[in-house]
Amino acid sequence: WAPKGNGIWRYSTMLPLKSGISLGEGRTPLVKSNLAENLYVKFEGANPTGSFKDRGMALGVTVAKESGANKVVVASTGNTAASAAAYAARAGLRCYVVLPKGNVARGKLIQAALHGAELVMINGLFDKALDYVVNYGTKYAYPLNSFNPWRLEGQKTVAFEIYEELGCPDYVIVPVGNAGNISAIWKGFRELAELGLCNKLPKMVGVQAEGAAPLVEAWARGVEEPLFVDEPNTVATAIKIGRPINWPKALRAVKESGGFFVKVSDGEILKAQRLLATRDGIGAEPAGAASIAAAIKLNIGGVAVAVVTGHALKDPDVIEITAKEVRNADELIELLEK
Ligand code: F0G
């Protein structure tokens, strides 16, 4: 028995680099869901910093380090920031995270701060933060947003893990924000097919929140370009994005695979989050539960994998807490007897 590498690096034969920085990302649980027949949950919240971003950062930060950079920069709705901060810390790089003030969930802010990143707040949403990084950040620091192709190379490894446990499913359902992950996962499956391992490729289903659905709206109208949203709005702050930079890649993934885009409301997202937690035992942040909301809504036949992209603790503020108080043992017993 000899492991070939830590984290994503165990797939080094499928990656553009052979080894690099790792926090043991990947090997996340694939859980059969109780919520629908033939539905499996790939719980990416179980990654080291609690989201799928870690797969991409392992590769991206390795490239940053090897190219001699001493600083990295990202715009983020929070998870990219948390992941970049942790992997940059591990690699000994400085990390700048540009964040939309008031629109980043608390757990993610705490992570970025804890790992020693420089937190920079802007007045505006993610799209503006990303503009800043593209137009200014890249001149001073190595950018680790998902327009960086190395990130996507790391993220494609989730397809390999799904294949190892399940073979190739009929559908893979993915929450879409800046639209990098769905194209990365599609690339992973395509590469499996090239090796003759996946006879029938899965259909990719992209899920957006109703108030931040540029790709869904374009898809519904048969338009080739997204209908950008100036003021995106959703409880799922991770995917509160109006102008996804990777839209051409995401569109290609969905088209080539014979899949589709679908939107879910905030109510459906929160309900799915609750169901996933109380019936499957899996805690997702709202954006992560968007794929579950879609799976429930669509009731698609065939084997489906819903990618749950981030952990519940990322966004504690959306979770309502109700507690009962007891004054003595008798009152406790009364409760327990119910
Ligand atoms: N789910 C979660 C939990 C995310 O954090 C993100 C993106 C997505 C889904 C969408 O993935 O952008 O590849 O389509 N979060 C980015 C961030 C934007 O800054 O953390 P995508």
Q: Are 42 and 307 in contact (CB under 8 A)?
A: yes
Instruction: Indicate which CATH number applies to the domain containing 141.
Output: 3.40.50.1100
Residue that finishes a domain, picked among 128, 148, 168: 148
Question: 178 with 128, same domain?
Answer: no
Question: 31 with 75, same domain?
Answer: no
Question: 209 with 268, same domain?
Answer: yes
Question: 37 with 73, same domain?
Answer: no
* pLDDT at residue 301, as a whole number: 86
Q: Does the residue 43 lie in any domain?
A: yes
Question: 293 with 247, same domain?
Answer: yes
Question: 94 with 37, same domain?
Answer: no
Quote the ligand 1 centre to 329 CA distance (angstroms): 46
Residue of 267, 216, 217, 210 lying closest to 233 (CA atoms): 210
* Number of structural domains found in the chain: 2
Quote the ligand 1 centre to 176 CA distance (angstroms): 7
Domain that holds residue 62: 53-148
CA of 178, closest atom in ligand 1? 12
Q: What is the CB < 6 Å shell around ligand 1?
A: 51, 76-80, 146, 175-181, 238-239, 285, 287-288, 309-310
Q: Does the residue 171 lie in any domain?
A: yes
Q: Does the residue 326 lie in any domain?
A: no
Which residue ranges are tagged as binding site for pyridoxal 5'-phosphate?
79, 177-181, 309
Q: Where are the beta strands (DSSP E) in the chain?
A: 30-32, 39-43, 71-75, 94-100, 118-122, 142-143, 171-175, 203-209, 260-264, 304-308
Q: Does the residue 336 lie in any domain?
A: no
The position carrying tokens 């990416």 is 44
Q: Does the residue 338 lie in any domain?
A: no
Question: 168 with 28, same domain?
Answer: yes
The secondary structure of 133-200 as a DSSP string is IIIIIHHHSEE-STTSHHHHHHHTHHHHHHHHHH-S-SEEEEE-SSSHHHHHHHHHHHHHHHTT--SS
Question: 267 with 207, same domain?
Answer: yes
- Residues (pLDDT < 70) of the chain are 1-4
Phi, psi of 73 (to 5 degrees): -140, 140
* pLDDT at residue 3, as a whole number: 56
Residue that finishes a domain, picked among 98, 129, 148: 148
CA of 155, closest atom in ligand 1? 13
Best residue among 43, 54, 79 to mutate for probing ligand 1, ranked by most atoms within 8 Å of CB: 79
Cβ neighbours of 100 (radius 10 Å) = 23
The whole-model pTM stands at 0.97
* Residues whose CB falls within 8 Å of the CB of residue 47, separated by 6 or more in sequence, listed in order: 25, 26, 28, 53, 54, 55
Question: 96 with 177, same domain?
Answer: no
Question: 133 with 225, same domain?
Answer: no
Phi, psi of 301 (to 5 degrees): -75, 165
Residue range 311-324, pLDDT digits in tens: 999 999 999 999 99
Q: Are 117 and 95 in contact (CB under 8 A)?
A: yes
CA of 77, closest atom in ligand 1? 19
Rounded to whole angstroms, the Cα distance separating 184 from 61 reads 17
Rg (CA), the chain: 20
Residue that finishes a domain, picked among 126, 148, 170: 148
Quote the ligand 1 centre to 180 CA distance (angstroms): 8
Q: Does the residue 332 lie in any domain?
A: no
Quote the ligand 1 centre to 250 CA distance (angstroms): 13
Q: Does the residue 328 lie in any domain?
A: no
CA of 175, closest atom in ligand 1? 9
Phi, psi of 280 (to 5 degrees): -110, -15
Residue range 246-279, pLDDT digits in tens: 999 999 999 999 999 999 999 999 999 999 999 9
Residue 109: C-alpha distances to residues 236, 242, 264, 285, 304 (Å): 15, 21, 26, 14, 32
* pLDDT at residue 114, as a whole number: 98
Quote the ligand 1 centre to 71 CA distance (angstroms): 22
Question: 137 with 193, same domain?
Answer: no
Q: Does the residue 301 lie in any domain?
A: yes
Question: 138 with 181, same domain?
Answer: no
